[in-house]
Structure 1
Amino acid sequence: MVLDNLVWFFEQHNFPTQVHQINTTHIREFLWYLTSETHRWDSSHPLACRKASPSTVHIYYRSMKTFFNWLKREDLISTNPYSFIKPPKQEKKVIQALATTEIQRLFEACEGKTMYDVRNKAILSVLLDSGLRISELTNLKYEDFDQT
């Protein structure tokens, strides 16, 4: 999708679509379009009809930079237009810690004796004690635990 949108933008602005012709100015204009335009891609989709969030712009930046790094590694381009482009600024999200009462309510919700209550209590304990993300917890394997 990122590269499709890049090609669409380049075609709309008569920019080159051959990767070896793309330069830093083209990339900067595309990133500016993402940052400033409230109606993108000639789409009526709700997400395309509002300004892109800083996180979205950063995702586009990272995806395209990865693509151009790959092109350079494969010797498909001689210079990488991303060499001189700084990443867009991102919002720093402050995640609020749960209040003691919220933690108590979570544990009260799994006070029963069923297998699911015991499992849920163990999940809560691991998350709260370790600081793992949910995705990290779901990817844990038995071998990941230190048995000593």
Structure 2
Amino acid sequence: MPNWNTYIKEYQNYLRLERGLSANTIENYSFDIEKLVHFLSQNNIDVSPVAISDEQVQQFIYTISTQVNARSQSRIISGLKSFFNYLIFEDYRKDTPLELIEVPKTGRKLPDTLSVEEIDLLIEAIDLSTPEGERNRAMLETLYSCGLRVSELVTLKISDLFFDEGFIKITGKGNKQRFVPIGNSTQKFILIYKEAIRSHLNIQKGHEDTLFLNRRGKQLTRAMVFTIIKDLAVKIGLKKTISPHTFRHSFATHLLENGADLRSIQLMLGHESITTTEIYMHLDRKFLADVMETFHPRAK
């Protein structure tokens, strides 16, 4: 394809260096553009990103809409918008070929939440007779009681544990650091794992400070944590679609249901904007109505 790669490379550098986005996010953005490039080459449309027209992009969006759901479609459109806005920003183009393209309405799909009982059942299903069992219990307790992202869990360092003060230090998106409170029982599970299991591992160079290790003494992958959780769900016959993120989501929802304020939850989750945190409210109107009734002078 005529010099798409050059523009995509420059765009990736811009996302990394100027917007400070993670490799993961950049990969997702690039994936959307590659879908468009693939479509053009399949249809023998020989055009550069600077010259591509509204009609050609519309044709692509129309084709995609027959293959993916509204949610994925809207993600692809927003990925492309970002790319063409970058081209305008760099003076490669005067306008965006997505000007008239509507993003499909996708009522925000909220992840499944687990009840406290379901979380207990999942953790009770862990086989503690194996060394991995002790590790998995400590990991799931940490995910749920601290509301971590899975990437934050697998990169958690021993030097980030401040148990005397009752906090752990988390390095979140964009290398932003935050301190999250950690309860005594979760501290206890981490210490059991650290002293009884981790101390016997042959730890690989570069992983000496990583808290949760696989049996080869290296940092766990996110996929591994995903698999551990999926397997436990199957074991207890749980019919919900769950992932490590479900624990983070449940952490926020349970705090909110028990009366925590949104701003505190935002700080603990490490959300840049309170709007992101509001999604965690499950937009539960009943909860809001209760708040109004309890706290507003005119509601009495």
Structure 1 and Structure 2 fold alike (TM over 0.5) = yes
The one-letter code sitting in structure 2 at the alignment partner of 1:80 is: T
Whole-angstrom CA distance in 1 between matches of 2:90 and 2:116: 53
Please tell me whether residue 102 in structure 1 is matched to residue 115 in structure 2.
no
Aligned to 1:48: none
The alignment's C-alpha RMSD in Å is: 3.2
- Secondary structure class of the residue paired with 2:110: coil
What corresponds to 1:45 in structure 2?
Answer: none
Sequence identity, in percent?
A: 30
Segment of structure 1 superposing worse, 64-73 or 11-20: 11-20
| Among 13, 17, 27, the residue aligned to 2:47 | 17
Q: Does the aligned pair in 2 maintain the 1:61–1:88 contact within 8 Å?
A: no
TM-score, with normalisation over the residues of structure 2?
A: 0.37
Matched, 1:117 2:133: yes
2:155 maps to what in 1? 139
How many residues align? The count is: 134
What is the deviation of 1:145? 4.7
Whole-Å separation in 2 of the counterparts to 1:119 and 1:130? 16
Extract unaligned runs of 5+ from structure 2: 1-30, 166-300
Map 1:44-55 → 2, pairs under 5 A = 51-55=67-71
Give the match's secondary structure for 1:56: helix
Would the aligned equivalents of 1:35 and 1:52 in 2 still touch at CA under 8 Å? yes
Is structure 2 residue 51 aligned with structure 1 residue 35? no
1:35 to 1:115, Cα distance in 2 relative to 1, 3 A: same
Query: 1:124 is aligned with what amino acid?
Result: L
Instruction: Give unmatched runs, 5+ long, in structure 1.
Output: 37-50
User: Partner of 2:296 in structure 1?
Assistant: none
Match of 1:126, SS state, is helix
Q: Which residue of structure 1 lines up, in the alignment, with residue 209 of structure 2?
A: none
* Cα displacement (A) at 1:53: 2.0
